[in-house]
Copies of this chain bind each other. A is one copy, B any other.
Amino acid sequence: MTGPNPLPAPSAALAKVFTHIADNQDSFVQRVMDYVRHPSISAQNIGIREVAALLVAMLEKLGFAAETIPTAGHPMVLGRWDKAPGAPTVLLYGHYDVQPPDPLEAWVSPPFEPAIRDGRIYARGIGDNKGQHFAQLLAIESHLAVHGRLPCNVIFLLEGEEEIGSPRIADFVAEHRDKLKADFVVTADGPLHESGTPTICYGVRGMASFELRVRHAGRDLHSGNFGGVAPNPIWTLVHLLGTMKNAAGEITIDGLADAVIPPTANELAAAARLPLDLDTVKAELGLDRLDVPAGRGYYERLMFHPTLTINGLHGGYGGPGTKTVLPHEAFAKCDIRLVEAMTPADVLAKVAAHVKRHAPEVEFLPGNGMLPSKTPLESPYGETIRRAIQIAQGITPLEYPAVGGSLPDYVFTKTLGIPAFVVPYANADEANHAPNENLKLDCFVNGIRTGAALLDQLGRQEG
């Protein structure tokens, strides 16, 4: 980027760390390949404890007070370095478990035999998430190697169940809040923008899922003999769902949006600054149109408004040709994405009340829930991260006030009450959860440099 505001340059201390990273790049690549060679598949309980032990050993070697902490599921790995009194404390969150590698036959090289091709490391977990938190570890190691100490305090929290939905993270954080006292959280996970530009994400939407079930007659009926006199569960669902969201896409469940805090002017402005080519989005998704109401931005809709999605609806005959049946049962599965300050409990109660009022014969089954999370754009740590990326990568990151999906970031922003940022290091085509998962060498090195620059920046602030 050129112009009146040149990007900041590294301090002399950081420049030495960058040199160390450059000098050791080949060895770092070898070591991350050694790390991902160890499977750690949470869904299949393969290698989890071995990799947790490996991480504790690595953290201890760096001078961290490290431990595995048991949970009802796979253990958490916690490491603490607190020898910078007066400096801020950053909590680095990641996860050491990986997705199952199936289908194996689709991999060019085996998932747990890392290989380099065309400037990328290929291996299960290299992008999601082992390669990314290993980059953070190497940033710490490089600082220690050059300066013998870190410029700030660091807590490393690595989960072993992220790929199975983080079922234990909320309770764990609530229970161990004393060990997790930090000024802010950085999660290096997920991909960069598809242009290759780094990003900082300040929020995620929450989620509440539910199912609607209807059963009318005791069996399927003949549509001629009973059509028009016997109630039809699919019509019941169609009419009920029609009261929940109108054709313009606006949710019409009574009171559902009562808790919504509208976006700030800064958030709206940040969303409007994001690059967006709707034609490219449509082409990529194979869509003729997007449901973006006139006068509202695509990102505004996705970041700041709740949405109600029917995940599936099934009832009656679905085979070839026709069958003149009047079905006797049907169901719909739905999820609502939540924005600040909606809660799953309140939302599900309001859906339940709406269903009871409009179609009392429909059974309402509440499902999973997750709170939304948002860190203010004005948080000073946002500026810290932005400067670190500028110094390490020579580019100004895109800043997302929120993304549409859901992650348990609320355990940091709400349970711990501290700002949380997602700062991905992986290339957009990392193929996470898919065969031939990969991480570009450039991205890996930029991750190490960014981690190092962040520590350096924090050493210039008070905690």
A374 lies within 8 A of chain B by Cβ: no
Chain A interface residue count, Cβ-Cβ cutoff 8 angstroms: 76
Q: Tell me whether A291 and B229 are in contact (CB under 8 A).
A: yes
CA of A289 to CA of B316, assembled, Å: 20
CA of A216 to CA of B286, assembled, Å: 7
Partner of A311 from the list B290, B324, B333 (CB cut-off 8 Å) is B324
CA of A287 to CA of B216, assembled, Å: 6
Residue ID in chain B nearest A405 by CB atoms = B224
Q: Which residues of B contact A301 (CB under 8 A)?
A: 228-229
Q: Tell me whether A404 and B227 are in contact (CB under 8 A).
A: yes
CA of A259 to CA of B249, assembled, Å: 35
Interface of A is mostly: mixed
Q: Which of A333-365 contact B (CB under 8 A)?
A: 333, 335, 337, 361
Q: Which residues of B contact A337 (CB under 8 A)?
A: 223-224, 227-228
Q: CB-CB contacts of A227-256 with B at 8 A, as 1s and 0s?
A: 111111011011101100111010000000
Q: CB-CB contacts of A279-313 with B at 8 A, as 1s and 0s?
A: 00000011111111000001001100101111111
CA of A224 to CA of B302, assembled, Å: 8
A326 lies within 8 A of chain B by Cβ: yes
CA of A246 to CA of B239, assembled, Å: 8
Residue ID in chain B nearest A287 by CB atoms = B217
A219 lies within 8 A of chain B by Cβ: yes
A222 lies within 8 A of chain B by Cβ: yes
Q: Tell me whether A229 and B316 are in contact (CB under 8 A).
A: no
Q: Tell me whether A231 and B317 are in contact (CB under 8 A).
A: no
A177 lies within 8 A of chain B by Cβ: no
CA of A307 to CA of B287, assembled, Å: 34
* A312 in contact with B286 given A228-B249, A404-B226 (CB within 8 Å): no
In addition to A228-B302, A231-B290, A324-B406, 17 A-B residue pairs with Cβ atoms within 8 Å of each other are A207-B324, A209-B322, A209-B324, A218-B285, A223-B307, A223-B311, A226-B404, A227-B307, A228-B291, A228-B404, A229-B404, A230-B285, A238-B313, A310-B327, A313-B313, A314-B318, A323-B333
18 intermolecular pairs with C-beta atoms under 8 Å apart: A207-B224, A211-B322, A223-B307, A224-B403, A225-B405, A226-B285, A228-B309, A229-B298, A229-B302, A232-B309, A235-B241, A238-B242, A310-B327, A311-B326, A312-B327, A313-B314, A313-B315, A324-B406
